[in-house]
């Protein structure tokens, strides 16, 4: 696995009273071309109509970004395709596209950024705001009351750098109430500097959530518009080890213990028999943890040197379902599955050690069929982590 990771995540709150957002964010990675594309689109108005317009724009931008067409030309194609509101004489949708390319070892990370009518993106190197030059292209579309400007820029990101993109629901939060002119770009910039100063390693997920929650609070906890924030963060990877299933032979137990002890990162052990083996080879004691539980999964345990110890198949299956459905961990009950998911989302690289000994307990016909075998669930976990959350995963059998 690589020693540099590009952490991309976002947070969003819908406009008060809406069940669907008018802001749409798309994120894709193409390992073959070493490319990541992040697209944020804001549809005119809110609700279903805005969502349809923003989705159309975002998907068009996304597809064009992966094509050989120059990104500036792609932006003009999108502009020519987008309709103009007959009443307000403005575009039905705005967009920001970040096309990120990198070398084989994640070196030379280049960002091709196109912005149309969203608030200007922000860059930071550590806690220091970074300014850069944007080239501007003017377009006069039929039906629009003024010339429209597309901004285009190219720059490089190094380890510790961040790029932050957001919709106007962020910069205009608090408008006319807590802040007469709204939060504005300067307010967001200062808030980000303070957040990074408090936690220099704050993840994209945590920082985007903090920005959105701050904007939400400025709106008096009743969002006046869709609030969306995207954060791109280049950093050293956070690694997590997941051990599940007993090794095929008893002689391999000691090998498993050495792999756990030598792993540099957080560690999760999943499975009753597996945790007993780990406790024995590491010489540690396990203690049942009843501080968090739910009807969906058994309680977890605590063990010195291990960050999380859970039951096996039921918990893994529940975690896979949460990831596949993209459920928000903040809205889940406080149980081992929630802790498991939060650790995975805060990780960049996840390594699985899968024991191959057949567990007789899983031949019980009372166990739900959908749980499947361990390897199937691990496959679901890896697919969700890689395709939905752009994590790097690896696996070995023991």
CB 192 within 8 A of CB 215: no
If one compares 176 and 18, the residue with the highest pLDDT of the two is 18
Between strands 266-270 and 239-244, the pairing is parallel
3-state secondary structure 275-306: HHHHHHHHCCCEEEECCCCCCCCCCEEEECCE
Give CATH for domain 5-235.
3.60.40.10
- Tell me what the mean pLDDT of segment 78-95 comes to: 67
The pLDDT tens digits of the residues spanning 115-139 come to: 988 999 999 999 999 999 999 987 7
**For residue 219, pLDDT beyond 60:** yes
In Å, how far are 82, 92, 98 from 77, measured between CA atoms?
A: 9, 15, 17
Residue 390 has pLDDT above 80, yes or no: yes
Residue 215: is its pLDDT beyond 50? yes
pLDDT per residue as tens digits for the range 258-291: 999 999 999 999 999 999 999 999 999 999 998 8
Query: Is residue 177 over pLDDT 50?
Result: yes
> Is the full-model pTM beyond 0.85?
no
pLDDT in the model for residue 106:
76
Give burial (CB, 10 Å; 0-12/13-18/19+) of 302. middle
From-to residues of CATH 3.60.40.10 in the chain? 5-235
């Amino acid at each position: 696995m690589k020693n540099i990771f590009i952490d991309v995540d976002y947070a969003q709150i819908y406009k008060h009273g809406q069940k669907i957002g008018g802001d749409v964010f798309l994120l894709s990675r193409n390992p073959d071309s070493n490319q990541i594309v992040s697209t944020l689109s804001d549809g005119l108005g809110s609700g279903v109509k805005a969502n349809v317009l923003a989705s159309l724009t975002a998907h068009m931008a996304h597809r064009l970004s992966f094509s050989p067409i120059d990104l500036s030309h792609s932006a003009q194609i999108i502009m020519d395709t987008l309709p103009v509101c007959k009443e307000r004489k403005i575009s039905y949708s705005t967009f920001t596209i970040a096309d990120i390319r990198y070398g084989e070892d994640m070196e030379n990370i280049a960002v091709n950024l196109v912005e149309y009518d969203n608030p200007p993106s922000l860059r930071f190197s550590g806690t220091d705001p970074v300014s850069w030059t944007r080239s501007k292209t003017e377009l006069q579309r039929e039906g629009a009351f003024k010339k429209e400007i597309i901004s285009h820029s190219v720059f490089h990101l190094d380890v510790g750098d961040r790029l932050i993109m957001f919709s106007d629901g962020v910069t205009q939060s608090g408008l006319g109430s807590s802040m007469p002119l709204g939060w504005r770009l300067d307010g967001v910039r200062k808030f980000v500097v303070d957040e990074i100063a408090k936690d220099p390693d704050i993840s994209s997920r945590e920082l985007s959530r903090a920005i959105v929650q701050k904007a939400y609070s400025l709106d008096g906890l009743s969002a006046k518009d869709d609030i969306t924030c995207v954060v791109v963060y280049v950093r050293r990877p956070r690694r997590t080890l997941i051990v599940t299933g007993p090794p095929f032979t008893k002689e391999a137990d000691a090998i498993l213990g050495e792999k756990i002890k030598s792993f540099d990162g957080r560690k999760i052990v999943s499975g009753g028999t597996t945790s007993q083996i780990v406790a024995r080879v590491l010489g540690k004691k396990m203690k049942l943890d009843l501080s968090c539980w739910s009807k969906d999964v058994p309680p977890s345990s605590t063990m010195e040197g291990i960050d999380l110890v859970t039951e096996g198949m039921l918990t893994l299956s529940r975690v896979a379902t949460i990831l596949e459905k993209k459920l928000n961990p903040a809205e889940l009950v406080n149980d081992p599955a929630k802790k498991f998911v939060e650790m995975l989302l805060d990780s960049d690289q996840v390594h699985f050690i899968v024991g191959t000994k057949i567990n007789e307990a899983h031949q019980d016909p009372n166990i739900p069929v959908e749980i499947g075998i361990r390897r199937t669930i691990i496959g679901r976990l890896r697919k969700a982590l890689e395709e939905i959350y752009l994590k790097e995963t690896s696996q070995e059998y023991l």
